[in-house]
């Protein structure tokens, strides 16, 4: 069995966390300086004035300062939790709670559920002020928050009820499969999680999301006709076309496709309809159709499943490694705790996996832009649509390369503009 670098798994994890925090803070500082010193890029001079630039800078600066503070608090919270053995203490508290109801330590799965519940309650209490401040101060200050306190509370209640209804049984099954299948549990857990993931592709958009938002069929008219035509042109099996009332919570905009097999749907945020014109909406959907055309979601799903298999296999190699549990203050070896501790020591590799995944997804985003530009001949409308969305959402207009490489799943706006124009040039069409 491999050994900790410092002689203690606990010290290793604290060191990993500190290194990742230092690195991410460094690149955030680089981006913050970029925001503070940014001027209107030449590519955006036709679309962005000084007033819009100053609004963007103010929004981004507020979010960065907020991130600096919350990241530091999260670091302190995590280090203290690990250093002072708060996890084994909380596990013992969960056991004490069960004893009051007549259940002893043999009921490991039940104790695991109580442990998760207690941990979530504590975590929610700690993070609630941060979330409230970001929603009702920062987002509201810059004109994005439309959420009322009543709606916020209702959303939290619904979310927690769903976590109890779905999360409890899923975690129980996850732990039970490991108990049932012995040393080869990694294969069976992997299959189980893959099935759950596929089921959620059906359950979430059809049953969960409607609990939070209203989905209204797009009214008959020019836009609907254009969207149906562009879908038909690429043989996309569009069955339903919805507008979702995102504006009741936020001023941010988006559009997406979902559905399995031949039951495909397109969803437009109502905020998007106010920000761009019909041709630009079609070009943005052309980009999304590019993802479907090139099977990007399937490719990413395969990558995700390979990663999950490797993760569960490595976990199977350390699940019974007693020194790991002892290093964090445990004198027992519950499965759930083993997975949590494993996630701690796996965190550096997980960060590198996220970085690699971002490289892959940025490549796929460029390919989808190419599809809308080359196959659908919508490069000009895609350019103006992307610019409007970025400027209306006060997104970063100028991005530090290191910050982008580490954090962004999409290429920054200026890179997308350059790529679309190069694609147009290769088609023999010069963009104005």
What is the C-alpha separation between 258 and 8, in angstroms, rounded? 46
291 annotated binding-site participant: yes
What is the C-alpha separation between 274 and 257, in angstroms, rounded? 19
Q: Which of 12, 108, 139, 288 is catalytic?
A: 288
Annotated active-site residue 228? The verdict is no
Annotated active-site residue 24? The verdict is no
What is the C-alpha separation between 112 and 241, in angstroms, rounded? 42
HEC readout, the chain? CCCCCCCCHHHHHHHHHHHHHHHHHHHHHHHHHHHHCCCCCHHHCCCCCHHHHHHHHHHHHHHHHHHHHHHHHHHHHHHHHHHCCHHHHHHHHHHHHHHHCCCCCCCHHHHHHHHHHHHHHHHHHHHHHHHHHHHHHHHHHCCCECCCHHHHHHHHHHHHHHHHHHHHHHHHHHHHHHHHHHHHHHHHHHHHHHHHHHHHHHHHHHHHHHHCCCEEECCCCHHHHHHHHHHHHCCCCEEEEEEECHHHCECCCCEEEECCCCCEEEEEEHHHHHHCCHHHHHHHHHHHHHHHHCCHHHHHHHHHHHHHHHHHHHHHHHCCCHHHHHHCCCCCCCHHHHHHHHHHHHHHHHHHHHHHHHHHHHHHHHHHHHHHHHHCCCHHHHHHHHHHHHHHCCCCCCCCHHHHHHHCCCCCHHHHHHHHHHHHHHCCCCCC
Residues 141, 73 contacting (CB under 8 angstroms): no
296 annotated binding-site participant: no
Q: Which of 12, 369, 380, 415 is catalytic?
A: 369
What is the C-alpha separation between 225 and 160, in angstroms, rounded? 40
Please provide the size of the chain in residues: 432
Residues 293, 264 contacting (CB under 8 angstroms): no
Residue 104: other Cβ atoms inside 10 A: 9
What is the C-alpha separation between 84 and 100, in angstroms, rounded? 26
- Residues making up the annotated binding site for Zn(2+) are 287, 291, 365
Catalytic residues: 288, 369
- Residues making up the annotated binding site are 287, 291, 365
């Amino acid at each position: 069995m491999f050994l900790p670098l410092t002689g203690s798994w606990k010290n290793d994890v604290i060191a990993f966390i500190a290194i990742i925090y230092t690195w991410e803070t460094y690149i955030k500082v680089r981006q913050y300086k970029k925001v503070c010193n940014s001027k209107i890029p030449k590519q955006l001079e036709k679309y962005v004035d000084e007033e819009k630039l100053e609004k963007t800078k103010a929004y981004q600066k507020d979010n960065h300062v907020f991130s600096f503070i919350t990241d530091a608090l999260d670091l302190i919270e995590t280090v203290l939790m690990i250093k002072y053995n708060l996890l084994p203490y909380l596990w013992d508290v969960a056991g004490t709670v069960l004893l009051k109801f007549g259940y002893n330590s043999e009921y490991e799965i039940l104790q695991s559920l109580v442990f998760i519940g207690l941990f979530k309650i504590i975590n929610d209490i700690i993070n609630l002020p941060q979330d409230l401040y970001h929603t009702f101060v920062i987002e509201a200050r810059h004109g994005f928050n439309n959420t009322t306190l009543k709606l916020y509370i209702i959303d939290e209640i619904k979310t927690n009820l769903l976590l109890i209804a779905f999360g409890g049984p899923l975690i129980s099954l996850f732990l039970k499969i490991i108990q049932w299948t012995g040393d080869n549990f990694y294969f069976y857990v992997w299959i189980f999680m893959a099935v759950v993931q596929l089921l959620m592709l059906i359950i979430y958009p059809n049953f969960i999301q409607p609990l939070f938002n209203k989905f209204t069929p797009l009214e008959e008219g020019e836009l609907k006709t254009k969207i149906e035509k562009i879908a038909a042109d690429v043989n996309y099996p569009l069955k339903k076309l919805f507008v979702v009332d995102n504006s009741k919570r936020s001023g941010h905009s988006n559009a997406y496709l979902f559905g399995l097999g031949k039951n495909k749907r397109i969803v437009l945020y109502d905020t998007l309809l106010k920000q761009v014109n019909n041709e630009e909406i079609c070009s943005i959907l052309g980009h999304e159709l590019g993802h479907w055309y090139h099977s990007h979601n399937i490719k990413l799903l395969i990558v995700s499943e390979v990663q999950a298999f490797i993760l569960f296999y490595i976990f199977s190699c350390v699940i019974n490694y007693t020194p790991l549990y002892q290093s964090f203050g445990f004198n027992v070896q519950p499965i759930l705790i083993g997975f949590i501790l494993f996630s701690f020591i796996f965190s550096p590799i997980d960060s590198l996996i996220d970085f690699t995944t971002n490289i892959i997804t940025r490549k796929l985003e460029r390919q989808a832009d190419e599809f809308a530009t080359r196959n659908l001949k919508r490069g000009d409308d895609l350019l103006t649509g992307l610019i409007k969305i970025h400027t209306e959402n006060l997104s970063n207009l100028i991005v530090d390369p290191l910050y982008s490489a580490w954090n962004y799943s999409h290429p920054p706006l200026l890179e997308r503009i350059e790529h679309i124009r190069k694609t147009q040039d290769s088609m023999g069409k010069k963009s104005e």
